[in-house]
Amino acid sequence: MRLSKYYLPTLKEKPAHAKIISHQYSLRAGLIKQIASGIYTWLPLGLRVLKTIEDIIRDEMDKSGAIEALMPCVQPANLWRESGRYDDYGKEMLRIRDRHEEDMLFGPTHEEVATDLIRDTVRSYKDLPLCLYHIQWKFRDEVRPRYGVMRGREFLMKDAYSFDVNYEGALNSYNLMYKTYIKIFKRMGLTPIGVRADTGPIGGNLSHEFHILANTGESTLYYDNKFFELLESEDVESLKNIYAVADDMHDPKTCLVPQEQLNVSKGIEIGHIFYFGDKYSKPMKASVTSQDGKNVNMHMGSYGIGVSRLVGAIIEAFHDDKGIIWPEAVAPFRIGLINLQTKVTEAADKIYKALKSDEVLYDDTEGSIGVKFSRMDLIGLPWQIIVGKKAMNENIVEVKNRATGEVKEMQIEEAINRFSTK
């Protein structure tokens, strides 16, 4: 992509209202633009990151056997009256009335819609287990939207819903999602921690939140050091057995972890999984015939990931004082190619044409060298190929690793070979 033909409105100054680094950088690097409190337009560069995060999630969800669908944003209030949540949900729900005076709402979550979907079609234990997911915009009228996309009012979530005939089946589904979540977050370069959590208004009795450690996080986590040692194994039962809890779930009286092994850190919640049995299937009458011919309510679980929040969380985890440092797996482009002067345009063009244009953001604009360098550092692409004076006579370019700052001189052909995936 040629920068001269792209739309990348970056900001030099830090916006005064943005308190935390991910919020500042996501505005300054031209990822998002706020249009109202907690509501954002995704600009082209930010959208590329969002889509890449979606792709990773989709890939691992599909591998787990879950099936993608797409449920609507706008939901009828009647479904929520059936489940009994309509009055309880409170002011976070954006309530709408249509022209027929029907009560509607902009979905803050989709348990009711998912339950309604399968109750008419799934009749037998033979159709189970079933896990459906979608990636869809939610609206929650948060009291204090803040921190940019980390706590928006409109935000993108991946949410999945599992249906099983009994508790054992539901536990398998739950554990499979636990494992899938570890895989998803690791692929993004993150180190997730799964902590036992309160089940809150969604209800039920088994729940884990996934966090990344960050001092700008809004939750407090208490956990045994051993968690991270065991993460590599992806052994869900062992991971679940380690003491790791969020916020008020911590009880010093029952916590048996020796003091020196117990860590307390701030965390950003990036995902949350629940098992809640028949909380929805019972009032909404979603039942199947079991193996022994009985009519039983389905056992359900739900599994959320904050897709848009992840963009902020990843920036919180990977940045320096110059800007973002994207992990390669989620970077909007892999390479930033910088043309420093018109005299080397031929060389820079040659490199651009040799590489896959979808992987390269080519700064072919006219402008000062300083602006070009600081903009490229700010947007944080993992690699920079810098084409300067030496490209003219010696055929040499500089290749910079954004994360380490290491710069290597290379022959143009060598650089092309190094980055060629064509």
* Residue type present at position 55: D
The mark string for 257-296 relative to Mg ion (x by CB under 5 A, - otherwise) is ---------------x------------------------
The answer to the question of residue 309 lying near ligand ATP (CB under 6 A) is yes
Among ligand ATP, Mg ion, none, residue 155 binds (CB under 5-8 Å by kind): ligand ATP
Look-up: residue for tokens 């916006």?
15
Tokens found for residue 162: 């599992």
The binder of ligand ATP chosen from 112, 164, 269, 359 (CB under 6 A): 269
The binder of ligand ATP chosen from 304, 332, 336, 388 (CB under 6 A): 304
Residue 99: phi and psi, rounded to 5, are -70, -15
Among ligand ATP, Mg ion, none, residue 306 binds (CB under 5-8 Å by kind): ligand ATP
Number of residues that bind ligand ATP (CB under 6 A): 15
Binding span for ligand ATP by CB under 6 A among 25-33, 256-264, 302-310, 321-329 = 302-310
Contact by Cβ (8 Å): 14, 28: yes
C-alpha–C-alpha distance, residues 208 and 206, integer Å: 7
Q: Which 8-state DSSP code applies to residue 97?
A: E
- Residue 41's Cβ-count burial label (10 Å; 0-12, 13-18, 19+) is exposed
CB of residue 309 vs ligand ATP: minimum separation in angstroms? Answer: 4
Which residues in 41-100 contact ligand ATP (CB under 6 A)?
Answer: none
The binder of ligand ATP chosen from 45, 49, 157, 340 (CB under 6 A): 157
CB of residue 48 vs ligand ATP: minimum separation in angstroms? Answer: 19
Contact by Cβ (8 Å): 386, 400: yes
Q: Of 43 and 128, which has the nearer Cβ to ligand ATP?
A: 43
Residue in 50, 43, 45 with CA at minimum distance from that of residue 313: 50
3-state secondary structure of 229: helix
3-state secondary structure of 80: helix
DSSP 112-142: HHHHHHHHTT--BGGG-SEEEEEEEEEE---
The answer to the question of residue 23 lying near ligand ATP (CB under 6 A) is no
The answer to the question of residue 270 lying near ligand ATP (CB under 6 A) is yes
Q: Of 92 and 102, which has the nearer Cβ to ligand ATP?
A: 92
Contact by Cβ (8 Å): 116, 157: no
The answer to the question of residue 208 lying near Mg ion (CB under 5 A) is no
| End-to-end C-alpha distance for the chain, whole angstroms | 15
Binding span for ligand ATP by CB under 6 A among 125-133, 227-235, 263-271, 387-395 = 263-271
CB of residue 39 vs ligand ATP: minimum separation in angstroms? Answer: 11
Site residues (CB under 6 A) for ligand ATP? 109, 140, 142, 151-152, 155, 157, 269-272, 304, 306, 308-309
Interface ranges with Mg ion (CB under 5 A): 272
